[in-house]
Amino acid sequence: MRPSDLLTMTPSGLYCPQADAHIDPVRPVRRALITHGHSDHARAGHGAVLATDETLGIMAVRYGPDFAGATQAVRYGERVDLNGVTVSYHPAGHVLGSAQIALQCGGVRIVASGDYKRARDPTCAPFELVPCDVFITEATFGLPVFRHPDTRHEVDRLLASVRVFPDRAHIVGAYALGKAQRLMALIREAGYEEPIYVHGAMERLTQFYQDQGVQLGEIRKVQAAERPKLGGAIVICPPSATQDLWARKFPDPVTAFASGWMRVRARARQKGVELPLVVSDHSDWDDLCATILQTGAGEVWVTHGQEDALVHWCVTRGIRAQPLHMLGYGDEGEVEPETNVLAGEAAPAEAAT
C-alpha cells in the first residue's frame, strides 16, 4: 500500500478511505478523528467523533453536549481498529488532551501530528515520539528565525515588569484554550502567589482544566466595576480583548501578549504590544527539524504555516517532502494569516497561536 492510498486529501481535509474517516475535517463529515480542541481542528456537527476524553470534554464546553451525533473516547496508546486500519492516539504536548494520530495498515504507518510542541508544559502530557513512514508536520513556526526561548525567562520578564510598575495592570493576551492555562501554571511555578485575574471568555475552559486536576492557584474572574482597582494585577484575556475598550478601564495597562509570533518585533509592534512574551504551544524551528529526524520518516508532508522553508530543509537532508496543500488544500496565494490578524480582520481565534 502506498501512503497516498492510506491517506489522501479531500475538500473536507485529510481522509482515510479504508477507514472512512477524516482527520480534523474543516466541514461536517460522517466520521471524524480529532487531534485536539482548538476550533480550527475541532468543529461541531460531525456524525461520529473519535478523540481523547479531554478533547471531547473541551468540545462539549465549547459547543454544548450535542456537538456530534456520537462520540468515542480513546486513551493514549490504545489501538482502535477501523475496517482493518489500526488507529492510535499519542500525546502531542500541545494542549490538554492533544494527540498525534497514527494510522497503520498494510505495513505503512502515517502519523498526523496535528499541532505539537516539545517544550515543557505543566498542563498537558508531554509529546511522545512515534516512528513512522510518513510524518505530517505542522509548520506554524517553520522558519529558522522562530526559536522559542525558555518559558521561565519570559515569565520572569512579566514578573519583573510587575515589580517595576506595581501600579499598572498587566493585561496578558493569551489564547483561551491551552496558552492561558499554561501561562497561569508557569506563573505559579515562578513563585507568584497573588490571585490571577481572567477575562470572562476564558473562565469555563480554565475551570475545565482545574476540574481535570491541573493546579492553577487562585483564579478570579474580572468584575467590570473592579477594573480601575487592579493596579499591579496580572490579568489574562483573549488577545483581541487587549485592544478593546474593556482593557482601557484598567490603570495605565501594560499590554502583553504570549505567542510565538512575539519573537519578531515587527509583529509585536503591529499588534500594539508593549511587553511581548515569546511563549508558544507550537514547535519552534529546531524542534520541528529534530522531530522530523527522530520519527525516521522517509517522507514528510508539511501543513499549515511556513511550508517552503521546512520542505527545503527536508530536501537538503535527503528526506522527501511536500507541502500538503499540493495534495489538495486550496492555495490561498496571497493570504498571510498574520497580516489579516494584524489588520484587525476576522481570523480564527486559535489558528495563529
- The yes or no reply on residue 282 touching Zn ion (CB under 5 A) is no
| Contact residues for 49 (Cβ-Cβ < 8 A; gap 6+) | 32, 33, 34, 56, 59, 67, 68, 70, 71, 72
7 neighbors 112 (Cβ within 8 angstroms): yes
Please give the C-alpha separations between residue 239 and each of 81, 173, 225, 235, 283, in angstroms, as whole numbers. Answer: 40, 4, 21, 12, 20
Provide the β-strand partners of residue 134.
110, 299
Piece of the chain touching another protein by CB under 8 A; list 18-26, 59-67, 224-232, 305-313: 305-313
Work out which of 309, 314, 349, 352 binds another protein, going by CB under 8 A. Answer: 309
Please give the C-alpha separations between residue 344 and each of 98, 109, 265, in angstroms, as whole numbers. Answer: 29, 41, 18
Contact mark string toward another protein, 254..273, x via CB under 8 A: ---------xxxxxxxx--x
- The yes or no reply on residue 287 touching another protein (CB under 8 A) is yes
Contact mark string toward another protein, 62..81, x via CB under 8 A: ---------------x-x--
Strand-pair category, 108-112 with 134-139: parallel
* Residue 115, contacted partner among Zn ion, another protein, none, CB below 5-8 A by kind: Zn ion
Work out which of 157, 188, 220, 325 binds another protein, going by CB under 8 A. Answer: 157
Angle at 45 between CA 41 and CA 48, to 5 degrees: 85
* Residue 342, contacted partner among another protein, Zn ion, none, CB below 5-8 A by kind: another protein
Q: Please state, in angstroms and rounded to a whole number, the distance separating the CA atoms of residues 211 and 202.
A: 14
Work out which of 24, 25, 33, 38 binds Zn ion, going by CB under 5 A. Answer: 38
- The yes or no reply on residue 131 touching another protein (CB under 8 A) is yes
Residues that bind another protein (CB under 8 A): 77, 79, 88, 90, 102, 104, 118, 127-133, 143-147, 149-150, 157, 161, 164-165, 168, 252, 263-270, 273-276, 286-287, 290-291, 293-297, 306, 308-309, 312-313, 316, 334, 336, 338-339, 342-344
